[in-house]
Amino acid sequence: MTIQVAPADCTGCEVCVDICPAHSKEEVKHKSINMEPAADHRARERENFEFFLEIPEIDRGKVKIDSIKGSQMLEPLFEFSGACAGCGETPYLKLLTQMFGDRILVANATGCSSIFGGNLPTTPWSANREGRGPAWSNSLFEDNAEFGLGMRLALDHHRAYARDLLHRLSDEIGEDSVSEILGADQSTEEGIRAQRGRVAQLKERLREDRNPRARDLLAIADQLVEKSVWIVGGDGWAYDIGFAGLDHVLASGKNVNMLVLDTEVYSNTGGQASKATPRGAVAKFAAMGKPTAKKDLGMLATAYGNVYVAQVAVGADNMQTVKAFAEAESYPGGSLIVAYSTCIAQGINMATSMSHQKLGVNSGYWPLYRYDPRLPGKGEYALRLDSKKPSVPLKEFAMKEGRFAMLARSKPEVAERLLGEAQADVDERWRLYEQLAGIEHGDLAVREEAPA
């Protein structure tokens, strides 16, 4: 396996060096990847990068996609975005495209992710060598969830019409072929590939058929291959301006996936406080520190009981993040992933973007969990806590961020009070999550002792 730097596009954010786990036995400071002056290496690395681009992509059917090694061997269809150096949002989008990118439709709320995602005439959303890639579009800030729901409804309508036409044309197409297409298992990469092959053969037959229904089916035959709808946006959209739409779409029960890139502030418009902003943090419209607690979006979604929900932090537990993406995509209803996204507006050293997330999880500031409505039917608890009990005081984490530290310098007594209340928030939330993780649902198939 080779990790190759793109010398013309590296932003020098240093995140890769910060999180590199491999150290030289001779010199501890020397890692497998290190920062060096770009000018000294650019010419040679351009040649290496050109060679790297010619290496054939790995067969998606031969790797375990829902694993760290497997997902990271796959081609990203989101790259060179132009986001801030060290941005905490882009790793999630890259991962999304590596796991499902050649068959996803993305509805992107206005915000940072739409600006670096659609900075036309270029776009980081790309296609593979087969010409397949994400279908991406940006909607308004306030209606992105509804916009994505419209994509899902259109896909469902086209697919239902295509299946109906297949039945009507079964004498011409062949009963066996129709049965194979309609009964195809598309839950795996191999299944998706096999269905694409069947649909390609179907389209060849339809091109020679003069039946008007055959022409109609030819126009929508590709909808017989499974598509995945992802509704993407920041916390300003999900927690605030677009929350009513997000709630409506989750309540619909439709098969859509929502990815919230949570920077805990309106990053793109200048750093205003949102309902995702934590207690005690300084932001515009909260110059004395936000006096109220952060809205718990994930727990609100679990109240429906039929929505898959996960809270993730790729810098703290990348395996948990990959599992959450895989489970959300496979869930046949609504899903919500709230992703901890470090941001320059938080006032941190962005070189530590990923390791800072780990500290946030260890302090209990950002608990990791997955709520899967399918589990009670398998004799398991719906809510799984994936992070350990807080082991670091919240203050140790908070003082590494300018949004907390500036209040401690300007108004120490106010900061102390709010930080004390914030620590109480952390403690109480953990107690609540621990209790919820041990609740048996009515349809729990197998009764077991709760884990210690």
Query: Which tens digit of pLDDT belongs to each residue from 59-105?
Result: 998 899 999 999 999 999 999 998 999 999 999 999 999 999 999 99
In single-letter form, the type of residue at position 352 comes to T
Helix (H) or strand (E) holding 232: strand 228-234
Provide the percentage of residues in the chain whose pLDDT is more than 90. 88
Residue 50 resides in a domain: no
- Per the structure, how many domains does the chain have? 1
pLDDT at 452 over 60: no
Measured distance CA(179)–CA(25) in Å, rounded: 60
Tokens 């890259």 locate to 94
Q: What is the mean pLDDT of residues 207-214?
A: 93
Q: What are 157-181's pLDDT values in tens digits?
A: 999 999 999 999 999 999 999 999 9
Q: Residue 357 sits in which domain range? A: 56-452
273 in a structural domain: yes
In sequence order, what DSSP letters do the residues of 17-86 get, joined into one string?
A: HHH---B-SS-TT-BSS----HHHHHHHHHHHHHHHHHSPPPPGGGS-TTSHHHHHTSPPSB----PPTT
The secondary element (H helix, E strand) that includes residue 104 is strand 104-108
**What integer pLDDT is reported at residue 447 of this predicted model?**
41
**Would residue 107 count as lying in a domain?**
yes
Task: Name the pairing type of β-strands 228-234 and 257-262.
Answer: parallel
Q: What is the mean pLDDT of residues 222-231?
A: 97
What residues have CB less than 8 Å from 81, skipping those under 6 apart? 87, 90, 93, 116, 117, 124
Is residue 47 in a domain?
no
Is residue 43 included in any domain, yes or no?
Answer: no
The residue written with tokens 């607690």 in the block is: 293
Residue 303: pLDDT over 60:
yes
pTM of the model: 0.94
Which residue has 């806590």 as its token pair? 385
DSSP H or E stretch at residue 146: helix 144-168
* Residue 32, in any domain of the structure: no
pLDDT at residue 443 in the model: 53
Whether residue 90 is contained in a domain is answered as: yes
Q: What is the CATH number of the domain that holds 429?
A: 3.40.50.970
Residue 33 included in any domain: no
